[in-house]
Every structure is written in C-alpha cells, then in structure tokens.
Amino acid sequence: MTRDPEILILGAGPAGLGAALALATCGVEALIVDSGSAAGGQVYRPLPGAFEPGDASGLGPDYREGERQRRLLADSGAGTAFGRLVWSIGTDLRVDALGPEGPESWRPKGIVAAAGATERVVPFPGWTLPGVMGLAAATILLKSQCVLPGERVLVAGCGPLLFAVANAIRKGGGQVVAVADLAGPGAWLHALPALLGQPRDLLRGASWMARLRAQGVPLLFRHGVREARAAGAGLEVSLGAVDAAGRPIPSASEKTLEADSLVVGHGLIPATEAVRLLGAEVVFDADAGGWVPRLDRDQRSSRAGLYAAGDGAGVRGAAAAFLAGRIAGMTAALDLGRIDAGHHARATAPLRRRLARARRFGRAMARLMAQRPGQVDGIAGDTVVCRCEDVTRAEVEAALERGAADVNQLKSWTRCGMGPCQGRMCGDTVGQIVAARTGSREAAGAWTARAPLRPLGVDALAGDFDYADIPLPAAAPL
Amino acid sequence: MAQIPVGEPYDAAVVGAGVMGATTALFLARGGMRCALIDAGGVCREASGVNAGTLTLHMTRAALIPYAMRGWEMWKAAPDWLGGDPGVTVTDGLSLAFTAQEAALLEARVEARRAQGAPIEIIATSRARAIEPGLTDRFRLAAHCPMDGYVTANLTGMAYRRALVEAGVRLYENAPVTGIEAGDGGFRLAMAGAAPRARRLVLASGVWLEEMLAWFGLRIRIKALVNQLIVTERLRPVMRSVLGVASGLLSLKQFANGTVLIGGGWQGKGDRARRTTEIVPDNLIGNLRLARYVVPALAETRIVRSWLGFEAETDDALPIAGPLGGIPEAYVIGCVHSGYMSGPYFGRLLAQNILGQAPELPLFDADRLLVAPSCT
C-alpha cells in the first residue's frame, strides 16, 4: 500500500466491517487492517486460507454470517490489508504495521479503533498447566481449525460462551464432563427481559443449554474451579460453590472431576491499547468489561480523528458492534466533510434504534461476564497472577505493602505485566487487587500502553540491511 | 527521627525524587537534617527508573569520569548505604567501531577518557571476541573496560523509597510543586493540599529544572532529550558483557532473566510540560538494526516493549550542581550526562556541601549557563 487512506480501520471484525461499509457508501477511501487472513474477527472467524470445507453447512450460522459479511466487504470497494500486525500508532496518526512484505506505514486523516476484546481468566491454582485453555481460545480451535480442545473436556467460567463452547464440543464428537457456571440460574433469569429483544440469539442460547441437559451433561451453577492438578496425561479439577460475588464458599464441599482438558474463561475485556497509545481518555466501566474509551454518541473519542466501536469500546456483542461501527464510519465521513449533518442524522437514526436494542442484549450478556471482585479477592497468595513473569499474588501484595501506589509502580517493582503479553492476561486481575487498597480502579490506574502493540520478531522488523542502511544519528558528546 | 511539629520548617526541601534528589535527601537526613523530598510522581519514576541502567565508562563524558568512577563504587556498595540491591551486576564493557571513521573516533575517545583515569584500552579484535563470544565479526576495532556493568533501573525506586522512609525523610509523592517563594526564613513551596516550608532548597527536577529555575528569575536552557529503549522477550544467553559503539549510540545488555535491553539514546518524541512521550518508529527500527548487527543472535527473538525517558542536557552538556548564585541556601543538581551512573555520587557530594563539609571533587556552577534576558 503506497497510498494513504483517508480513514484507517483497526480490526476487521463486525465493528470494523460496519465502519468500512459506511465509509464506502460515503465515498471515503478506507483501509481496513487486520492480523487475520480475512475479515470476520473472532465471532465471524474465517477459515485458514488452505482450508476448503467440502460442506460449509456444518460450520454453523456464525460462519455463514461471516461469509456474507466478507462478500459485502469485497463488494464495497474498501481497501483491505490482511496479515498485518499493527505495532505502533503515533499521535500524528501514523500507523506502523508488520506484514508479509516487512514494515509498512500509513498516515490516514482518521482512525476507527475496532480492536475487539481479549479474554479474562481469573487465576486459580493450576491455571497455567498444559491442558488448561481459555473459552475464547477453545472457540478459535473449534471454529477455525475444527479441532476439539480435548476428548473429555470440563467447561467452566461464566457467560454465554460457556454453553456455546460446551455445545460445539458435543457437536464435534467430544465429551463434556461438566459445565460449571459462576452465575446461578437466577442471574440468567434476571437477564431474560433484555435477552427477549434478540429472540434469535436467546433461542440459540436456550437451545444450547437444553441440549446439554438432555444429553446428561452436569450443569453446575454457582460453581467455580478451585484448583487444577496434573493427573497422568490429563487433569484433575476441583470445583466448589461460590457466592454471588464469585468468592469461594469455604464451607462448601469440593467436587473433583477428571478431564483431559479444562476450558475456562471469565468474560471479555475491551482491547484499548490503541486508544490509550493515542492518549484518548478512558473510563472504567465494570459492566462493559473494564477500561473503555470515553465516546460521544457518534463514536468520537476525546482525541480528534479517533473513533472507536465494537467490543473494544465496551463489550456489547457482535450485533451491537456492527451497528456502532457503521455509526463510527458515518461520523468519520461527516468530520471529513464528505456528508452533511442532515445526511448523517438520517443515516444513523435507524442504526441507533437497532443499536439500542442490540446493546440491551449485549449489556445483559456482558453483565454475566463482568469481573466478580469476590473471585479476585479469593485468589490465594501462592497463586501465580502474572503467568509471563511468574508473579504470585503474595508478591503483588508485598509490593503494595512496601508502597507501590498504582499498577505501573507495582509493575516496576515486581515485573508483573512485563512479559510477552504486556499485562493483557493479568491486567484486569491486578487492577482489582490494587483497587482493593487504593479504593477504586481509577486510583489503581491502567498500564501505560506502548509500542509494539504485540511482540515483533527482530529479524522481520529489522529486515535485510547493511551497516550503511542504519540511519545513525550524530554521535553523543564526549 | 523526631516528629516535626506542624508548621515547623524543614531543614531542607528537595524537589525531585530521582537518583540525585533522593541521594541528596538521604545523606542530608543521615547528616541530621529534617528533610522533605517532593515529587510530581513517585520515587525514581522518571529518568532514574526508566533508563537503561548501564554503568559504563565508555559512554561517560570525559570530564565526568572521576565522578562516574566514584558513582560506580557507590552502586557496587549499594547494599551498604542504600540497604537494598537494585540488581547491580559487574561485567566487561566493550565499545566497537565498524568503519575507519568510527575507529578514529574510538581511539580519540579512549585516549580522552584514559587521561581522566578510566581503565579503558584498545584491544585486539580476537580478544574482544573472547570476552564476548556473541559479537559479530564485522567490527574493525574494540575498546575494553573491565569495570562496566548495570543496575536494574526499574528496581531503583523500590530500593530508594525504603531507604528514605527508614532515614526519616518526609516523602511527598504525586505532589507537583507549582511555585516556590523565597522569603526571610527560607522557602515556601506551593503544592495542592500542603505548603511545606524549608530553610534550604534543593532543586533536582531533571528536565523540569528549567521551569523551576525560571521561578527565581534564573534563565538556563535545559534541553529535554527523549531517549527510547526497547526490550526483548527472554531468550537463551546470547551475550555476557555490556556493549556499546564508538559514537555512544548503542547500549546493549542481557539480564539474568534472559531479556535483552536495547538503548543508546535514539530519540523519540516528547512534551515535558504534558509529560507525554512516544516512539519514533524509524528510530526504533534503526536502533534495533544496530543491535542486531552487533549481536546477530538477536535475530531469533522478539521485542515486547519500548519506552522512553526524559534526559536533561545543558548547553555545554555538563552538569549543574551546587549553590545557586544570588539565592542564599538554594541549591541545584542535575543535567549529568549518563547521570544514572554518577547520580549517587553527585547527590552525596551536594549533601556534603550543604552539610558544611568540604566536597571531595569540585561542583558545577550553574552561573556559567545563565542566559541574559535580552538575549532570549
């Protein structure tokens, strides 16, 4: 890509796609950049390039919807840059990526951040063992590789993915040892009114649950994983009852089950690194999954030229993401002067009505997946919280005892969050542990975002070069 | 240390809790003074906590070699005077030249540093490769210093903070000073929620010195360098020394945990008033290329993070450290090139001066840099 797009869209999930389609209708040159091989994101995930499904009907409604969206994108005329890892975004809006041809960069006039979400796993003893993986990770295996996470799988955590994954494992021929949900049936009932607004999704969810019951899969409500231990080639997993805040009830008896894998996830966290890198204002919203950019009703962030939409701006699900993405695209076109305010208002009014309904559903789902502070409070001292750097909760508490006052100071003193994942896995847990002392997540702060947004191979980034190709600055003074 | 009665002035207020300010405060407190240390952030969270931590005479300004060597001794003895060990490691240091021009530069710089007492010598390339088997074979000339090493800079604040608290220094953290008034009895500091008074004042605020000196009508230009740093993920041991180049544009080391830190003063962008910094991607790639050229095995790893820190530099790139002319009982300390290495020594030197002892080595008068208002 030699030409700079007018608007660069970070992420080709439903939000990014919505933005690209909206921009295309306004005649704005947009470029959608994603690390994947095609559009779809996590929910409408494409198959790997080499995969040729003989019969796509077995791949489910998400795959079919993804195919439809990919066709829409191809027909829209929006530019695409797949297989690109965006690693730096400057305040001059320069976007740097590493692609198959090496480093690339663009200087758009505006950016739509549609980076999606990352998975939350609240640590427990044994969560770093082989055979333990996230619910979202299992979803990727199932959707994109058609691979089971194990033959006998224990599925635990919270939120709708629990039942989606358990059902997909059954469908793929695997055995589900049990489903352990932190929520009680009451929490699902409580969400019901909001779910009624999206009857198709509600039916799908209800049928997952009913099918698992009919197949005799034990559904353990208000239960969490106490510990996972290696046992032979598989795992031995202890489960126990939890209270409404997710805190283990010490007096409750434990149930031990054997499985060859444990699939566990505790919801989704908005991916805000790009937004924070640009210095846009973020606010903490537990019900939306964590830190989210502060947006106006047209999806503008506090920083001119930066828009955000989708789960990366607050977890509300794929349907809401697509609609918010379209609004963001229309707003970017308005700000570029390509459409007028009347056009913008007319185009976005029907989107807003549908978005309100989709958000009600998404909020109810997100609430089921929100972090349970009691669960974090219940993490034992010798449990590793930062798995990249092997930092235990007790080490975190010791640093707080010595005066570390926010997450970044804590990081300096303990290396918690300094590893390859740069705190994406532990940040939400650690933020809550610090907040328990500082009084709020705001006071605990958020990690400082820095390039590279993902680890980058030195060789790929440095490329082929001779000594003369190194742009050496002037020598330091003697 | 006895409790200070409310409203009673401190013997000294130190503004800026980097290595220089914190060391000054520590030795003032140990010398019997009631001392306050004030910072807009936390202890050693700017340059002193985010620099590369390299302790090398290869990059020290020649005039500062005697100070740096004493600073080095202090770092090595940190457990004795600081109490904690911020990961001090002693190892060989090499500086390399790849072109004829760089070789000439290296020879001249080695000569100048040797003249100031640095134990640096030009060595055979075969010996350099024996010292550092991870090195490329494409260099022309190498210089060796047996007394180099590094500190884990991110642990500096933790070690200093504990020492300061134990010495009875009153810490004001996350407390930006918005103005300082000089009066008969000393100084009054304007801060949100407090207005401490002190008989003596030490300004140790790094790149923010320019603004603070201006409060007293003293105009001294202080440039803010924005140094970029890069760190890799953990990888097998690929190097054991501290590596640099003749121009000073590389600092490279591998920590015991396997991560490799890449620096050398390649510039990012920053705004000291807003306290924001960001990388310049082309400079990150350039720095990375140089590192990869020097230690080819770096090709097999990934970088996981970059970050930046502000370094203060005067017009002549030499420090300001000592009494502030015309303002009784006011002192300044800062702008020491490669200041992390010499910092503890400069802090102790200034504390000695304030406590009325004869300093071991001369201080650096700030008056030489005063800019006449008409010239600006």
Domain for residue A95, yes or no?
yes
Domain C-terminal end among A306, A341, A368: A368
pLDDT category, B39, cuts 50, 70, 90? Answer: very high
Element (H, E) at A308: strand A306-308
Q: Does A464 touch chain B (CB under 8 A)?
A: no
Structurally, chain A folds into a number of domains equal to: 3
Nearest to A477 among B105, B232, B317 (CB): B317
Q: What is the pLDDT of residues A214-271, one digit of tens each?
A: 999 999 999 999 999 999 999 999 999 999 999 999 999 899 999 999 999 999 999 9
Domain for residue B81, yes or no?
no
- How many whole angstroms separate alpha carbon A288 and alpha carbon A314? 5
Query: With an 8 Å Cβ cutoff, are A478 and B112 in contact?
Result: yes
Query: With an 8 Å Cβ cutoff, are B293 and A279 in contact?
Result: no
Domain C-terminal end among A339, A368, A397: A368
Helix (H, G, I), strand (E, B) or coil at A304: coil
Q: A266 near A371, Cβ under 8 Å?
A: yes
pLDDT of residue A204: 82
- How many whole angstroms separate alpha carbon B364 and alpha carbon B376? 23
Domain for residue B52, yes or no?
no
Residues B143 and B238 in one domain: yes
pLDDT of residue B1: 43
Q: A144: which DSSP letter?
A: I
Residues B231 and B123 in one domain: yes
pLDDT of residue A146: 84
Nearest to A477 among B61, B303, B306 (CB): B61
Domain for residue B3, yes or no?
no
Q: Is B358 exposed, middle or buried (0-12, 13-18, 19+ CB in 10 A)?
A: exposed
Q: What is the pLDDT of residues A387-421, one digit of tens each?
A: 999 999 999 999 999 999 999 999 999 999 999 99
Alpha carbon dihedral B363, B368, B370, B375, in 10-degree steps, equals -160
Q: How far is B219 from chain A (nearest CA, A)?
A: 23
Residue B79, pLDDT > 90, answer yes
Query: With an 8 Å Cβ cutoff, are A452 and B285 in contact?
Result: no
Domain for residue A473, yes or no?
no
| Beta bridge partners of residue B267, listed in sequence order | B227
Residues A275 and A362 in one domain: yes
Q: A268 near A288, Cβ under 8 Å?
A: no
Any idea what the CATH number is for the domain that residue A421 is in? 1.10.10.1100
Query: With an 8 Å Cβ cutoff, are B292 and A472 in contact?
Result: no
pLDDT category, A35, cuts 50, 70, 90? Answer: very high
Residues A174 and A274 in one domain: no
Query: With an 8 Å Cβ cutoff, are B249 and A476 in contact?
Result: yes
Identity at A12, one-letter amino acid code: A
Query: With an 8 Å Cβ cutoff, are A452 and B288 in contact?
Result: no
Domain for residue B56, yes or no?
no
Q: Does A453 touch chain B (CB under 8 A)?
A: no
Nearest CA in chain B to A90: B278
Residue B374, pLDDT > 70, answer no
For residue A247, CA distances in Å to A162, A183, A380 come to: 19, 12, 11
Residue B304 with chain A: CB contacts under 8 Å = 419-420, 422, 452, 455
Query: With an 8 Å Cβ cutoff, are B303 and A90 in contact?
Result: no
Chain A 386-415, residues with CB within 8 Å of chain B CB atoms: 399, 402-405, 409, 412-413, 415
Residues A242 and A275 in one domain: no
Residues B235 and B164 in one domain: no
Query: With an 8 Å Cβ cutoff, are A459 and B282 in contact?
Result: no
Tokens of A117: 């979400």
Segments forming the whole domain that contains residue B184: 10-47+155-221+316-375
Nearest CA in chain A to B233: A420
Residues B199 and B336 in one domain: yes
Residue B283 with chain A: CB contacts under 8 Å = 471, 473
Residue B252 with chain A: CB contacts under 8 Å = none
Neighbour tally for A214: CB within 10 Å: 8
Write down the pTM of the prediction: 0.95
| Beta bridge partners of residue B252, listed in sequence order | B243, B262
Residue B319 with chain A: CB contacts under 8 Å = none
Q: Does A77 touch chain B (CB under 8 A)?
A: no
pLDDT of residue A43: 87
Q: A335 near A342, Cβ under 8 Å?
A: no
Structurally, chain B folds into a number of domains equal to: 2
Cα B168 → chain centroid: 24
pLDDT of residue A206: 83
Q: What ipTM describes this predicted complex?
A: 0.94
Residues B102 and B217 in one domain: no
Among B50, B98, B279, pick the best mutation site for testing chain A contact (most A Cβ within 10 A): B279
Mean pLDDT, range B211-227, rounded to an integer: 96
Tokens of A25: 């209708």
Residues B159 and B206 in one domain: yes
Residues B320 and B293 in one domain: no
Query: With an 8 Å Cβ cutoff, are A459 and B246 in contact?
Result: no
Domain for residue B287, yes or no?
yes
Q: Does A434 touch chain B (CB under 8 A)?
A: no
Residues A248 and A185 in one domain: yes
- How many whole angstroms separate alpha carbon B343 and alpha carbon B336? 8
Domain for residue B286, yes or no?
yes
Mean pLDDT, range A165-189, rounded to an integer: 92
Residues A358 and A413 in one domain: no
pLDDT category, B376, cuts 50, 70, 90? Answer: very low
Residues A172 and A258 in one domain: yes
pLDDT category, A187, cuts 50, 70, 90? Answer: confident
Any idea what the CATH number is for the domain that residue B268 is in? 3.30.9.10
Place of tokens 């975190």: A396
Place of tokens 């705001």: A442
Catalogue the E-assigned strands of B39-137.
Answer: 54-55, 89-97, 121-123
Query: With an 8 Å Cβ cutoff, are A458 and B298 in contact?
Result: yes
**Plot region of A259 (φ>0 → left; ψ -120 to 50 → alpha; else → beta):** beta
Domain for residue A417, yes or no?
yes
Residue A186, pLDDT > 90, answer no
Domain for residue A475, yes or no?
no
Tokens of B45: 């969270």
Residue A281 with chain B: CB contacts under 8 Å = none
Q: What is the pLDDT of residues A43-62, one digit of tens each?
A: 888 887 767 666 666 677 88
Any idea what the CATH number is for the domain that residue B338 is in? 3.50.50.60
Mean pLDDT, chain A, integer: 94
Q: How far is A213 from chain B (nearest CA, A)?
A: 45
Contacts of B23 (CB under 8 A, 6+ apart): B160, B343, B344, B346, B347, B348, B351
pLDDT of residue B4: 47
Residues A274 and A248 in one domain: no
Q: B316 near B335, Cβ under 8 Å?
A: no
pLDDT of residue B75: 96
Residues A164 and A204 in one domain: yes
B194-208: b or e for each residue (b if 16 or more CB lie within 10 Å)? eebbbbbbbbbbbbb
Residues A67 and A135 in one domain: no
Residues A340 and A432 in one domain: no
> How many contacts does A have with B, using Cβ atoms within 8 A?
138
Mean pLDDT, range A365-385, rounded to an integer: 94
Query: With an 8 Å Cβ cutoff, are B285 and A409 in contact?
Result: no
Chain A 275-294, residues with CB within 8 Å of chain B CB atoms: 277, 279
Q: How far is B186 from chain A (nearest CA, A)?
A: 31
For residue A208, CA distances in Å to A153, A205, A213 come to: 16, 5, 9
pLDDT of residue A2: 56
Residue A477 with chain B: CB contacts under 8 Å = 61, 317, 337
Any idea what the CATH number is for the domain that residue A200 is in? 3.50.50.60
Write down the H helix ranges in A336-420: 341-369, 373-377, 393-401, 407-414
- What size, in residues, is chain A? 478
Residue B54 with chain A: CB contacts under 8 Å = none
Q: Is B329 exposed, middle or buried (0-12, 13-18, 19+ CB in 10 A)?
A: middle
Query: With an 8 Å Cβ cutoff, are B266 and A473 in contact?
Result: yes
Query: With an 8 Å Cβ cutoff, are A455 and B304 in contact?
Result: yes
Residues B130 and B178 in one domain: no
Tokens of A467: 């000594």
Query: With an 8 Å Cβ cutoff, are A461 and B61 in contact?
Result: no
Residue B269, pLDDT > 80, answer yes
Among candidate residues B276, B281, B285, B261, the one with its CA nearest the CA of residue B308: B276
Helix axes A185-195, A341-369, angle to 10 degrees: 160
Among B95, B113, B285, B336, pick the best mutation site for testing chain A contact (most A Cβ within 10 A): B285
Residues A153 and A253 in one domain: yes
- How many whole angstroms separate alpha carbon B252 and alpha carbon B93? 10
Mean pLDDT, range A157-166, rounded to an integer: 93
pLDDT > 70: what percent of chain A?
Answer: 98
Residue B182, pLDDT > 90, answer yes
Taking only Cα atoms into account, the Rg of chain A, rounded to an integer number of angstroms, comes to 23
Least confident interval from A173-182, B68-77, B178-187, B202-211: B178-187
Query: With an 8 Å Cβ cutoff, are B305 and A452 in contact?
Result: yes
A452-475: b or e for each residue (b if 16 or more CB lie within 10 Å)? bbbbbebbebbeeeeeeebebeee
Domain C-terminal end among B314, B334, B365: B314
Domain for residue B71, yes or no?
no
Domain C-terminal end among A204, A236, A266: A266
Segments forming the whole domain that contains residue A278: 7-118+269-368
pLDDT of residue A124: 98
- How many whole angstroms separate alpha carbon B149 and alpha carbon B94? 11
Among B51, B105, B158, pick the best mutation site for testing chain A contact (most A Cβ within 10 A): B158
Residue A317, pLDDT > 80, answer yes
Place of tokens 């060789």: A459
- How many whole angstroms separate alpha carbon A156 and alpha carbon A182? 8
Residue A189, pLDDT > 90, answer no
Domain for residue B134, yes or no?
yes
Nearest CA in chain B to A420: B304
- Rounded to 5 degrees, φ, ψ at B219 are -105, 110
- How many whole angstroms separate alpha carbon B227 and alpha carbon B336? 15
Q: Does A107 touch chain B (CB under 8 A)?
A: no
Among A106, A412, A425, A448, pick the best mutation site for testing chain B contact (most B Cβ within 10 A): A412
Among B111, B152, B288, pick the best mutation site for testing chain A contact (most A Cβ within 10 A): B288
Residues A383 and A253 in one domain: no
Count the helices and strands in chain B (H runs, E runs): 10, 19
Domain for residue A459, yes or no?
no
Alpha carbon dihedral A8, A12, A17, A23, in 10-degree steps, equals 10
Element (H, E) at A169: helix A161-171
pLDDT category, A1, cuts 50, 70, 90? Answer: very low
Query: With an 8 Å Cβ cutoff, are A88 and B284 in contact?
Result: yes
- Rounded to 5 degrees, φ, ψ at A80 are -130, 145
Q: What is the DSSP string of A435-462?
A: HHHHSSHHHH--PPP-S-SS-EEHHHHH
Helix (H, G, I), strand (E, B) or coil at A108: coil
pLDDT of residue A192: 80
Residue B3, pLDDT > 80, answer no
Among A389, A400, A408, A472, pick the best mutation site for testing chain B contact (most B Cβ within 10 A): A472
Tokens of A261: 């894998």
Domain for residue A464, yes or no?
no
Residue B132, pLDDT > 70, answer yes
Residue A90 with chain B: CB contacts under 8 Å = 269, 278-281
First to last CA, chain B: 46
